[in-house]
Structure 1
Amino acid sequence: MRFSYRRQPLLAATGLIAVLALTATACGSADGGTSDKPDVAASRTADRDGDGVPDVIADRLEEHGVDVDDWQGGGWKDWDEEQWLGEAEEFFNPVIEDLWDAERMREAEDPAKTISSQDASVDQGVSDPPPAPVEATPEKTPYHVNAGPVGKIFFDSPEGAMVCSGTVVSDENRPGRSNLVWTAGHCVHAGSGGGWYRNIVFVPAYNDLGRSEEELAAGAPAEEVAPFGQWWADWAATSDEWIAGGSQEGGAGAAYDYAVLHVKPEAGSKSLEETVGSALDVDFSAPAASGIDSLGAWGYPAAPPYNGLTMFRCIDRPGRLSLDASLPTMYRIGCTMTGGSSGGGWFRMVDGAPRLVSNTSIGPADNTWLAGPRLGKGAKALYDDLSMSYGGR
């Protein structure tokens, strides 16, 4: 164990190469990719009726008595257990036009995921001492220039409209034209005993100029609130461990609390990566915390003292957090960001470029640190499956 904690410099005066250089353009030619898709891809996206709902989903909806037209007309508000789709292959998220207007986005709340400091200190695995708090720093505006791949995720839950954070990531089967977004599992699925959340959209560089609540309420231009538009998730994937063991306090699923979205625009034909201008590679082989000098976490904290309208970041040397000896060890950094930053990407520099290595999952009630899963084989398999199934779309 590492019994002493020492603050690390932020990699010289450039501050993690211009604060992790989040606008670095993804590599790869636009015409690359995989030409042959496995059978699972065709079966998952086949649409015999041409109504935009894949056959496999249509069959599931019929089993649950869900009518697509009724759903779009307000039926999604019914959270009856029989209609709360929860299994991995049941994700359903049809576009509902004009649902997420500026006011509804502004009023959405955070889905807080916390554990008490006591719970964190009595684990049976290997943990380092809690880090000293790192005060979150507001990101420079405009966000689309300084942190282009970072954005805000909106979704509906039984408790109402909620928010998380997310990151545009590259797609190995669609180089240069990715439509993939990385976030936390608890931002798309309620975990044990629950199901998929609804009306999930990603808004890159939300509130681009960091306007105040009063300025937004007065009617900020749409191009400032959502400079790249709204991107609806047409498929989502999270870990089986989160679906089976995730809870409001993180639970046994916290170490597997990650998710990938495939999104599409409300209008237009360009990919998310082409529209935003960048996407980050995901590093599924990042070393343990002791092998990383600095990690940066980005997001939109929404719980007090924050209001979810401004993008923040924290940079710190990571330590280890183990919630149980049977669970994978998580990364942990000092950070004062609160709920709403959940799902926001954690980045490190590799060969001069930023790569995503984790996402915000849980933190303590006193908001002094954040913890995120270490991405490995399971996360890579999840990403690969979604990329192979949807990468050509």
Structure 2
Amino acid sequence: MRSIRPVLAAASLAVVMALTATACESGGDPKADAKPTNSASKDAGSGSDEAQLPDDLDGIADRLKERGIDVDKWKNGEWKNWDKDKWLREAKDFANPVIEGLWSDERKKSAKDPHQTVSSKAASSSEGVSDPEPRPVRAEQERRPYWKYAASVGKIFFDTPEGAAVCSGTLVKDPRNPGKSNLVWTSGHCVHKGGPKGGWYRNIVFTPAYNHKGLSARALESAGPQDKAPYGEFWADWISTSNEWIDGTTATDPEGGSYEYDYAVLHVKPEKGTKSLEETVGTALPIDFSSPSPKSVDAMGAWGYPQAPPFDGALMHKCIDRPNRLSLTSSAPTMYRIGCTMTAGSSGGGWFRQTSGGKLALVSNTSIGPAGSAGWLAGPQLGDGAKRVFDTMSKKYGSQ
């Protein structure tokens, strides 16, 4: 068992914990008749000034036909074809038609995180920018029910060439549509393979406050839909991530991962005539794009659903620690790093800090951890590039 990091900045950490609860207590008790959403789908990458997004969220069939794909065949299993000619990769290519009944309990149970790791050598060859590796902080379970304390946090299920996969995500506020956000923040590697050979993942669904009672994996198997997905399941109808992630422009590994730009935002669309995701869940968290220096932050907290052993993906966990710096290359910004024993499955989960106004805000997301172990997590700084990705989505689709 790894040693646990000694308590530091105890008063500050206690404040963060308290604010986490307060920020999410406005979440509404999930309705018994919550149903999965029905929606069409699409997406874009970041962009120099603005991501190149289509004019609307409709026309999925036409978009697929442009690539020689029939939407009916796609729903009947053609989506399993990952040949290079069928794997859509450009920002304008994303398409995510709803396939009713696809995400069965069995498929969710088999889902694995396409976990991103870096070797200890890569993490230490930082040209003097990285701080010493933090001591592990033991991940602790979130209080229950999740809808009361962390309703904005949830699981993201999706398909990859290797099979069903899972990540974590956070429902975030949309300033252009106050109180009515349909935007979810996560990692780029949870939606797109990244690098010159990668493409968009498929059948992407967000489930806020998954397993809100905190049932064990065994108990969850026999639980009803309301316990597993208290607010329903929301299909992404568009996704935007950074061009750097799509192209792998600062990749430090053979797979092409530009981890410093490993972030994404999903737009989900509830059934016609129903409330927005934020109205349904009852709460959302703001994003802080100021990229604060780690030295100026007493504590950051990471939330998610770790799935790899010793965890099983059923329960929401969190780690809180003072952040430091991790640099993988001198050509890209440094990343935040904290001690944390969460494993694969927590990818994409939000990192939060207390702002000067005393409120909790999302400031990063889980991107990478150390290869062969679980002692720390790192996430990208969310600066101007991340804000452009978010603003483009908000301006174009926020009200839809």
Judging changes above 3 Å, is the alpha-carbon distance between structure 1 residues 238 and 340 closer, same or farther for their aligned structure 2 residues? same
Matched, 1:58 2:62: yes
Q: Residue 259 of structure 2 corresponds to which residue in structure 1?
A: 254
Find the partner of 1:380 among 387, 393, 396.
Answer: 387
Q: Residue 357 of structure 1 corresponds to which residue in structure 2?
A: 363
- Give the match's secondary structure for 1:355: strand
Matched, 1:44 2:54: yes
Q: Is the 8 A contact 1:20 1:349 kept in 2?
A: no
- Displacement of 1:91 after TM fit? 0.6
Which stretch shows the higher mean deviation, 154-163 or 278-287?
278-287
- Alignment identity in percent? 56
Structure 1: state its 5+ residue gaps: 27-39
Aligned length: 368
Matched, 1:7 2:8: yes
Matched, 1:185 2:188: yes
- Give the match's secondary structure for 2:364: strand
Structure 2 distance, partners of 1:163, 1:247, is 24
Structure 2 distance, partners of 1:20, 1:377, is 29
TM-score, with length taken from structure 1: 0.88
- Structure 1 runs (4+) greater than 4 angstroms displaced: 12-15, 40-43, 246-252
- Displacement of 1:120 after TM fit? 0.5
- Displacement of 1:326 after TM fit? 1.0
For the aligned residue pairs, the C-alpha RMSD in angstroms reads 2.3
Structure 2 distance, partners of 1:43, 1:300, is 31
- Map 1:302-317 onto structure 2 (within 5 A): 302-317=307-322
Structure 2: state its 5+ residue gaps: 1-5, 28-49
- Displacement of 1:103 after TM fit? 2.7
> What whole-Å deviation, never above 9, does each CA across 1:104-148 have from its counterpart, x for those lacking one?
222211211111122211122511101110000011111111101
Matched, 1:195 2:192: no
- Give the match's secondary structure for 2:10: coil
Structure 1 distance, partners of 2:360, 2:340, is 20
Structure 1 distance, partners of 2:138, 2:341, is 5
Structure 1 distance, partners of 2:85, 2:323, is 42
Which stretch shows the higher mean deviation, 319-328 or 240-249?
240-249
Structure 2 distance, partners of 1:315, 1:225, is 26
Q: Residue 213 of structure 2 corresponds to which residue in structure 1?
A: 209
Judging changes above 3 Å, is the alpha-carbon distance between structure 1 residues 174 and 125 closer, same or farther for their aligned structure 2 residues? farther
- Displacement of 1:152 after TM fit? 0.3
- Displacement of 1:249 after TM fit? 7.4
Q: Residue 298 of structure 1 corresponds to which residue in structure 2?
A: 303
Q: Is the 8 A contact 1:295 1:316 kept in 2?
A: yes
Find the partner of 2:94 among 72, 91, 94.
Answer: 91
Q: Residue 150 of structure 1 corresponds to which residue in structure 2?
A: 153
